[in-house]
Amino acid sequence: MLEFREEKERVNALNAILQADVDFSNRSKEVGMRKAFLEFINDEGILLRPGRMPIVGADAVDFITSVNDSTFELTWKPEGGNVSRSYDMGYTYGIYEMQVEDSTHKGTYVTIWEKQSNGDWKFVLDSGNEGIGASGGSLPGQ
């Protein structure tokens, strides 16, 4: 019976971070990438972007704030993920799409999530890789 309860907790936690990722993407579509990232980043969150050192905490917030997201729409869909045995950290991965005028650019991403004291999930690390096939593009600021 204990194994069933533990598996149920794990599945619930995984579903919660997958839903957080979907909510994050929906917010990006609704209010723009910049506002969505600012809403979902942990205070010590890290951004990994090609050609740059890791961007950490307040510097990550400053970086996000500096992005002009008025010329594109960034959305994504998680394809999978996993959660820690303590159910307070996990990751999601999937495909992102960036719509710029008449062009759609796709790439892959991974986001690491941490459960906050209030039960919400915020990302502690976000990284995207440009390019799936010939239509690849890069994430803003890359």
125 in Cβ contact with 51 (< 8 Å): no
Nearest to 49 by CA among 59, 35, 39, 38: 59
Residues 16-25: tens digit of each pLDDT: 999 999 999 9
When the pLDDT of each residue in the chain is averaged and rounded to a whole number, the result is 92
Residues 52-83: tens digit of each pLDDT: 999 999 999 999 999 999 999 999 999 999 99
**Angstrom distance (rounded) from CA 40 to CA 25:** 10
In the chain, what are the domains? 2-131 (3.10.450.50)
pLDDT of 103 above 80: yes
